């Protein structure tokens, strides 16, 4: 097959070049250098190493192993590198409060059930008797408790918030405890 | 790399007064930006405070003493609670002095 004009020097402009057809059974052709592309959809390959920059839209990256993915974004807050003078801030707030009233009892009862979603809890002992409050599901008693809440007194859980069950009892059954749980 | 993590700090205190009422009133509206709140009962009557709506004398989070002895009860809202706070007094007298930190 002959094409005119002939190109005796090898590479030339398209108008002066012969078309090339890649064989249907061509083996993989290596590509070197920098590749620039605008990609949407799924990238059907593996990125073994390197950096992806200029991600402007939502992108989902599936991490094949626990240690193979690193994101530079985690090192930055507000566009500045995290440092002792520019600390990463993590806020935790509670928007929902649920108040319950638990009648006083002279025997151990559940004051607040376990709740993994608990962000805080407050107790107001609305009784003329001391409340013995136990952090745990065991039997609270006057000798087995975590904190004593005097009559008409307030107590709230420290941080980090305990999310397990709380039991309690009073010296005698008078009044109640108002329990506020934040989630 | 070691991260340095800090809790957000409040730099603004917005104060307000709510007149004593024997029926439930809103002490603070919900505010997602709230980082803390203080309530001082500047009334001779006790103040029932509830984190949530519809406080009553049987449905409350805490009771703040009246200022009859000179100093009323004081409460700092914990856990960065951002929801509504309501209250009512034993009788309609005095005020609640409120600070909201953002």
CA distance B94 to chain A (A): 22
Contact of A91 with chain B, judged by CB distance below 8 Å, is answered with yes
Give the Cα separation of B73 and B40 in Å (integer). Answer: 6
Residue A67, pLDDT > 60, answer: no
pTM: 0.67
Higher pLDDT, A73 or A148: A148
The pLDDT score that the predictor gives to residue A102 is 98
Residue A12, pLDDT > 80, answer: no
Contact of A95 with chain B, judged by CB distance below 8 Å, is answered with yes
**Bridge partners of residue A156, in order along the sequence:** A122
Contact of B78 with chain A, judged by CB distance below 8 Å, is answered with yes
Residue A59, pLDDT > 80, answer: no
Contact of B52 with chain A, judged by CB distance below 8 Å, is answered with yes
pLDDT bucket at B49, cuts 50 / 70 / 90: very high
CA distance A64 to chain B (A): 23
pLDDT bucket at B15, cuts 50 / 70 / 90: very high
* CA within 13 Å, CB half, A61: 12
State pLDDT tens for residues A125-181.
999 999 999 999 999 999 999 999 999 999 999 888 999 999 999 999 999 999 999
Residues from chain B that touch A97, judged by Cβ atoms under 8 A, are 50-52, 61, 81, 83
Give the Cα separation of A112 and A110 in Å (integer). Answer: 6
Residue A74, pLDDT > 70, answer: no
Contact of A93 with chain B, judged by CB distance below 8 Å, is answered with yes
Tell me the ipTM for this assembly: 0.82
Give the Cα separation of B51 and B100 in Å (integer). Answer: 14
């Amino acid at each position: 097959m002959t094409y005119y004009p002939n190109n005796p020097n090898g590479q030339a402009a398209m108008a002066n070049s012969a078309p090339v057809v890649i064989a249907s059974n061509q083996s993989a052709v290596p590509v070197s250098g920098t590749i620039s592309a605008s990609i949407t959809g799924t990238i059907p390959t593996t990125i073994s190493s390197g950096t992806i920059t200029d991600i402007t839209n939502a992108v989902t990256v599936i991490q094949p192993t626990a240690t193979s993915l690193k994101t530079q974004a985690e090192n930055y807050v507000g566009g500045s590198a995290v440092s002792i003078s520019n600390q990463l801030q993590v806020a935790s707030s509670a928007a929902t409060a649920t108040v319950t009233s638990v009648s006083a009892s002279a025997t151990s009862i559940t004051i607040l059930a376990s709740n993994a979603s608990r962000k805080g809890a407050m107790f107001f002992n609305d009784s003329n008797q001391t409340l013995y409050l136990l952090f745990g599901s065991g039997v609270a008693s006057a000798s087995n408790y975590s904190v004593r809440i005097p009559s008409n007194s307030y107590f709230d859980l420290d941080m980090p918030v305990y999310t397990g069950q709380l039991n309690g009892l009073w010296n005698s059954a008078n009044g109640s405890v108002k329990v506020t749980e934040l989630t | 790399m070691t991260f340095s993590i800090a809790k957000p700090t409040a730099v603004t205190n917005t104060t307000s007064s709510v007149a004593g009422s024997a029926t439930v009133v809103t002490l603070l509206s919900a505010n997602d930006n709230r980082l803390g709140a203080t309530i001082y009962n500047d009334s001779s009557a006790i103040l029932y405070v509830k984190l949530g709506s519809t406080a009553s004398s049987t449905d409350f989070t805490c009771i703040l003493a009246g200022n009859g002895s000179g100093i009323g009860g004081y409460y700092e809202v914990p856990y960065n609670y951002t929801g509504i706070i309501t209250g009512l007094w034993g009788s309609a007298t005095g005020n609640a002095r409120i600070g909201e930190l953002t």
